[in-house]
A and B are shown apart, each in its own frame.
Chain A
Amino acid sequence: MKNSLRKFSRGTGLSAAVLGVSALVLSGCGAPPAEESPSGGTGAEATTDYLGCIVSDSGGFDDRSFNQSSYEGLKKAETDLGIKINQAESQAETDFGPNVDQMVQAGCNLTVTVGFLLADTTKAAAEANVDSNFAIVDDNSIDLPNVKPIIYDTAQAAFLAGYAAAATSESGKVATYGGINIPTVTIFMDGFAEGVDYFNEETGGDVQLLGWDKESQNGTFVGNFEDAAAGKTNTQNFINEGADIIMPVAGPVGSGTLDAVIEANGAGKDVKAIWVDSDGYETAGKGEEFILTSVMKLMGDAVEDVISTDVEGNFDNTPYVGTLENGGVALAPFHDQEANVPADLQTKLDELKEQIISGDITVDSAASPK
């Protein structure tokens, strides 16, 4: 038994070696660079000593949502402003404290923390390190001279999406559902509901919204931001109830909605999805042709903006509130769906956008930044 095991391990060792060597032979024949050329330096050469850092929440930097877009903002600042960057990805909420501490110890000039769950940690770190600056995404609870909150009035853009959905729907039913019932999710659903209501009032229509009741602040939720299968089931239920436009506000769960929409269209139905956070036509990776539009939170721009202000030495703690006016939130183009929306819809949406910016229409959500 023992001997055969040893033979086994020798045998596999040999074949692994052969494989490895052949791989090297195939890949290792390039010419070396000149002896004196430096081996490091992947990005742009740093032109300042400024160090910008970021700590993710437990979603990680590849969540196709707010961690990712904030991180991309920092990467953009690295290229555009020539700063150095450092990042720490949290695997669990228990990593928040150690990660933020690591960033402070690394001498970060500004640390971006992503998500309201990091609020307590950020506050404690900011109080203990008055010489470092912090910016926190999606939280407005900290009032300290060295912390800048970055928040979004997402309801404004979601309002436009709600109006567009109601105007485009042929069945007279549209739907939305969320990941978890928290303010950063419900603000989308509130805005969407208001947009649908506004369409009904203006045109005397009777478009129904499934999945969210703005009055009671309750509706359909998956209970997490991971279970795409549950997102698919929810979407199929909505389609069976007659809805033909569905907006998932649940990060990666939304891909389940796209699956259901693709299947329904394959079965001859005419169903569309509305993406959130980024332009789904470019980022979702499938079913682009069925994405009516997207409610975008442009976090990367805000993060880069805050960093460039700090590099110039003009950091302040006034909250950055992303709105339609400053372009922090926006409605994506219709792309492939251009032909399927009413002819004057884009003009109408532009008008509505102007009215929201001027304050003629107020979009109200319990979760709106006050």
Chain B
Amino acid sequence: MTPQDDRPASPATGDGAPHTRREAKDAARQEEVRLENAAETAGGELPPPVVPGTAAALGTGPAPDSTLMQRIMTGNALVAFLSVVLSLILGGLLIAVTDQNVARASSYFFSRPQDTLAAAWTAASGAYLALFQGSVLNFEGETFTRVIYPLTQTLTVATPLICAGLGVALAFRAGLFNIGAQGQILIGATFAGWIGFTLHLPAGIHLLLVILAGMVGGAVWAGLVGLLKARTGAHEVILTIMFNYIATNLVLYFLSTPAFQRPGSTNPISPQLDATALYPPLLGPAFRLHWGFVVAVLATVFVWWLLNRSTVGFELRAVGANASAARTAGVNVSKGYILAMAIAGALAGLAGVAQVSGTEKVLTSGVAASFGFDAITVALLGRSSPWGTFAAGILFGAFRAGGVAMQASTGTSIDIVLVVQSLIVLFIAAPPLVRALFRLPAPGAPRAGKGGSTTRTPASTGAAA
């Protein structure tokens, strides 16, 4: 596999950003053009830097633009879509194979094969129907509320995934592997929760303070990592992983102190947050969906603006593309690392706020579930672009919400959902496999006529920009 084999979709992605920037008439224009040239000398027709430059140091690739991570994250949208489809098919097979009725029918497969096939179809289609009914629309609901309840549930679960996923994606774009979203969510949730149940303030101010505290908590926790990397050169992967452990045990410790426990109880569970500290329900009390989802949408818009329209975002991307070139061009790389991590942490902190102020209403050691790690997958599936991450967050929210219904109504293990999620990542990580299975040409290869154009849809280039 040569680096060129997998050169991501286009020079178009490289061109797209400069065009829009040239149209913008802000004061930093001259500076940007200079930086842009610096970045482009590094990679020729390099697409926007969705890849940590440090990957080059870890991988064996000869040049920064051909690392494994880069190939993983610049695979086009079609590959991402096909990965989801493939995973669902494999998941369906797994459901069928593990089903008891199928096992019983297969013992006389040669006498009456249609029984086995019918049982397999019933098992897989039943499970996926339940998944759909649990995540989008429940046709069997008795009231309108119950019919659309699953959809709101999907958006509720997606909220923390989107926020934390944006944090991971932003750090990716600045060349940092942020594995620490889990710890950042926990610390953000701890800060936010403490303000929520300890202070008793009027409505409005209280919630605002809770949100702010959550963002500060996450930003400090991640900013420390950025600071350590900038000052000492310590690797952010090691740092963030270790900070996850510290955060987990710190929260456990806090919950063992009276300040974080309910009066008269020594259980490791905090008091409920004041009603003034909670996100109000977005669609009324019948649904769990809360205003945190609107905050997640705003966060997505903000990250899109930051990355594509602001000088700071441009500097971050320059650092991510090639730190040395960025430094030569006059970008303060240390500042970039700290800033990127702090913003990523603040976004993860928002996910923590969505948990304590939105759905859980209390602080426990499990308040972050596995959202911090799922966020990495979400960012990968979203190809590190803000709206891609948003869409991936909603997809994973649907899996999680639907998995609960699937388990309850068909008895299919919820682990199947985890398997499907993992398979998606596996396929995204191996774009050549997906292309081989679907007979797609490799991007960058000369157009072979039929089918070749499908990989160059506007959607794929747009999403990368």
A interface vs B, CB < 8 Å?
A: 1-2, 5-6, 9, 24-25, 27-33, 39-40, 42, 58, 86, 88-89, 91-95, 97-99, 102-103, 105-106, 116-117, 120, 141, 180-183, 223, 366-367
Is B366 at the interface (CB under 8 A from chain A)? yes
Is B33 at the interface (CB under 8 A from chain A)? no
Given A40-B101, A102-B407, A117-B366; 12 other pairs, CB 8 A cutoff: A28-B107, A28-B108, A32-B111, A86-B408, A93-B360, A97-B360, A99-B404, A106-B408, A181-B266, A183-B265, A183-B266, A367-B266
B111: chain A residues at CB < 8 Å are: 30-32
23 chain-A/chain-B pairs, Cβ below 8 angstroms: A2-B432, A2-B436, A2-B442, A6-B436, A9-B433, A29-B110, A30-B111, A32-B108, A39-B105, A89-B413, A92-B370, A93-B360, A93-B367, A94-B157, A94-B360, A98-B404, A99-B408, A102-B405, A116-B269, A117-B364, A120-B362, A182-B267, A183-B267
Residue from the set A6, A39, A223 with the largest chain B CB neighbour count within 10 Å:
A39
Contact of B436 among A5, A30, A180 (CB under 8 A): A5
In the docked arrangement, what's the CA distance between A352 and B432, Å? 72
B 352-404 contacts with A by CB, 8 A: 355, 359-362, 364, 366-367, 369-371, 401, 404
A58: chain B residues at CB < 8 Å are: 366
B interface vs A, CB < 8 Å?
A: 1, 5, 100-101, 104-112, 115-116, 119, 146, 153, 157, 249, 252, 256, 265-269, 272, 288, 355, 359-362, 364, 366-367, 369-371, 401, 404-405, 407-409, 413-414, 418, 432-433, 435-437, 442
B105: chain A residues at CB < 8 Å are: 39
In the docked arrangement, what's the CA distance between A223 and B268, Å? 12
Shortest Cβ distance from residue A309 to the other chain B in the assembled complex, whole angstroms? 25
Instruction: Decide: A32 near B414, CB < 8 A? Known: A1-B1, A116-B269, A181-B256.
Output: no
Of all chain A residues, which has the CB nearest B111? A32
Shortest Cβ distance from residue B107 to the other chain A in the assembled complex, whole angstroms? 4
Residue from the set A6, A89, A94, A120 with the largest chain B CB neighbour count within 10 Å:
A94
In the docked arrangement, what's the CA distance between A33 and B1, Å? 54
B107: chain A residues at CB < 8 Å are: 27-28, 30
Shortest Cβ distance from residue B362 to the other chain A in the assembled complex, whole angstroms? 6
Does the CB pair B361–A31 fall under 8 Å?
A: no
Does the CB pair B364–A24 fall under 8 Å?
A: no
Does the CB pair B432–A32 fall under 8 Å?
A: no
Does the CB pair B110–A223 fall under 8 Å?
A: no
In the docked arrangement, what's the CA distance between A31 and B168, Å? 56
Contact of A39 among B106, B119, B267 (CB under 8 A): B119
Does the CB pair A93–B115 fall under 8 Å?
A: no
Shortest Cβ distance from residue A363 to the other chain B in the assembled complex, whole angstroms? 19
B104: chain A residues at CB < 8 Å are: 39
Instruction: Decide: A105 near B146, CB < 8 A? Known: A1-B5, A29-B110.
Output: yes
Does the CB pair B401–A24 fall under 8 Å?
A: no
In the docked arrangement, what's the CA distance between A27 and B97, Å? 14
Of all chain B residues, which has the CB nearest A92? B369
A103: chain B residues at CB < 8 Å are: 408
B106: chain A residues at CB < 8 Å are: 24, 27-28
A97: chain B residues at CB < 8 Å are: 288, 359-360
B116: chain A residues at CB < 8 Å are: 28
In the docked arrangement, what's the CA distance between A269 and B252, Å? 36
In the docked arrangement, what's the CA distance between A93 and B359, Å? 11
B433: chain A residues at CB < 8 Å are: 5, 9
Contact of A180 among B252, B360, B369, B432 (CB under 8 A): B252
A2: chain B residues at CB < 8 Å are: 432, 435-436, 442
Of all chain A residues, which has the CB nearest B370? A92
In the docked arrangement, what's the CA distance between A208 and B432, Å? 65
In the docked arrangement, what's the CA distance between A352 and B115, Å? 62
A91: chain B residues at CB < 8 Å are: 369-370, 414, 418
Contact of B408 among A27, A102, A120 (CB under 8 A): A102
In the docked arrangement, what's the CA distance between A289 and B97, Å? 39
Does the CB pair A180–B268 fall under 8 Å?
A: yes
Shortest Cβ distance from residue A208 to the other chain B in the assembled complex, whole angstroms? 26
Shortest Cβ distance from residue A204 to the other chain B in the assembled complex, whole angstroms? 34
Of all chain A residues, which has the CB nearest B264? A141
Does the CB pair B252–A223 fall under 8 Å?
A: yes
Instruction: Decide: A94 near B355, CB < 8 A? Known: A32-B115, A120-B361.
Output: yes
Shortest Cβ distance from residue B215 to the other chain A in the assembled complex, whole angstroms? 20
Shortest Cβ distance from residue B134 to the other chain A in the assembled complex, whole angstroms? 8
